[in-house]
Structure 1
């Protein structure tokens, strides 16, 4: 295991309060641009960086120990592949994060203990309502591709929003079954598991399609999905934002579906974390912020 480069991160912070994004890989992340924009706009003292942390408990545990012993470290964000693994390594986890079973935001308390939170569900549903204001959760089933940490947040948000049926489609069926068991509400609504090779058929009569897998991300295999059975009125959301306009979104838009890219989910999920680390009220998501964070993604 290569040790994470804590010294470079501390040097870049230069004595200021700081937070950072943790992932493997992590260079693609736009979180530094997001929080850097808010820090600059508010003229707040602080720094937000990135830290490459290999998969496996040892490297992530070392990262959390670094935050605990570093008073100016305010916390971190977690991206793939650390969101689920983090649960067992933190001092406390909020009820929402425990229910979702994944953490994307870590906050260092004054006593040095670390609290795990999940703001992905908030970010997802906020971005969906902003990008598709006419979408009615109760009107039609939703199809979710994937069953990892992001899918857990998405499914939690959809169940809470009142979607009548959520269809889970994942390459590993048992993982999807576990997710369905975790989130099936007790009010008669259903979470249905569909086999990956039936993903095209699962789109019939859906009102929303959400891709939470890494398929279609730059450097990853493409998402092979025929959209013929998807109703033209359905909304298509891809949580991938590198590239901003994934092949899924391009094809969906060409056939008349309203599309929501993954960038706004990133922007909205960052709001609670920023306020926890750097103080003040939650910052706003604006068109200027989106342009600044998108950079060469094309927004």
Structure 2
């Protein structure tokens, strides 16, 4: 280990993480003498890990990935209200001798949507597939920006619980399996309406089962957003593009949430002037 300031990402497993590539790319471009590492931390070692880091003056914080995003919360001194509301922490930083938890998924998810959110719409509707921690961050982000959110999940009770956490309405939850079959639902005039379909699950990810979604359930002119980034072009995105719909891949959220964390770790904005080069590195 070197004697320079460092941040890191922790998880179990962790070898798949692209966070070191992203942060070290930015550190080099910014000319910051620091490092970003990946640390394999098992659930039973989580408390020991943070106690050790509390005593390390070179430590600038960590990103938190599966399966620690909820478990870490009870080990922190303070949790940012947004992270408390989401119920998950993905960024921990030392502040005045205290460990503080944040959630940058909210910001990262919204980043590629900003040009659309700056427009005026008669109505905004999001169909969110999933009911886990990522789904909650996405749902809260979209709800805060005026979307009516439908939660679609394999576990209907979890979908109801997610809806209830920000605005109870059992009419706006649905089981995923009904979306695998075609529908003859006649969508009304969607002019002036922003429709968004978001996959927050691992379905469609490399090594996972496919996401079975018949596009007859997708309104015309929808934006398709898949937070999966391995593969970068998921079957959901590929079919959306083939139908002429705008598609947003998971690297946008990954890089966006990393940028928000980078500034907390190193006190400077991430240098975003070479995002195209960074994306090329991440998909190589």
- Provide TM-score, normalisation by structure 2: 0.88
Residue pair 1:145, 1:210 contacting (<8 A) in 2 also = yes
Which stretches in structure 1 are left out of the alignment for 5+ residues? 1-10
Give, in whole Å, the separation in 2 of the partners of 1:135 and 1:144: 21
Structure 1 position 191, deviation (Å)? 7.3
1:29 and 2:14 matched: no
Q: Give 2:178's aligned residue.
A: 198
Match of 1:71 among 40, 57, 60: 57
Alignment of 1:148-159 (within 5 A): 148-159=132-143
Give, in whole Å, the separation in 2 of the partners of 1:93 and 1:138: 36
Alignment of 1:124-135 (within 5 A): 124-129=109-114
Q: Give 1:178's aligned residue.
A: 161
What secondary structure, in the 3-state scheme, does the structure 2 residue paired with 1:178 have?
Answer: helix
Q: 1:249 to 1:135 in 2, by over 3 A?
A: farther
Superposition RMSD in Å? 2.5
Structure 1 position 267, deviation (Å)? 1.2
Give, in whole Å, the separation in 2 of the partners of 1:98 and 1:251: 36
What secondary structure, in the 3-state scheme, does the structure 2 residue paired with 1:208 have?
Answer: strand
Residue pair 1:184, 1:190 contacting (<8 A) in 2 also = no
Alignment of 1:158-169 (within 5 A): 158-163=142-147, 165-169=148-152
What secondary structure, in the 3-state scheme, does the structure 1 residue paired with 2:172 have?
Answer: strand
1:123 and 2:103 matched: no
Residue pair 1:264, 1:290 contacting (<8 A) in 2 also = no
1:12-37 deviation digits (Å, cap 9, x = unpaired): xx111111111233222221111111
Which stretches in structure 2 are left out of the alignment for 5+ residues? 188-193
Residue pair 1:20, 1:48 contacting (<8 A) in 2 also = yes
1:114 and 2:99 matched: yes
Q: 1:290 to 1:92 in 2, by over 3 A?
A: farther
Q: 1:25 to 1:293 in 2, by over 3 A?
A: farther
1:102 and 2:88 matched: yes
Give, in whole Å, the separation in 1 of the partners of 2:52 and 2:73: 17
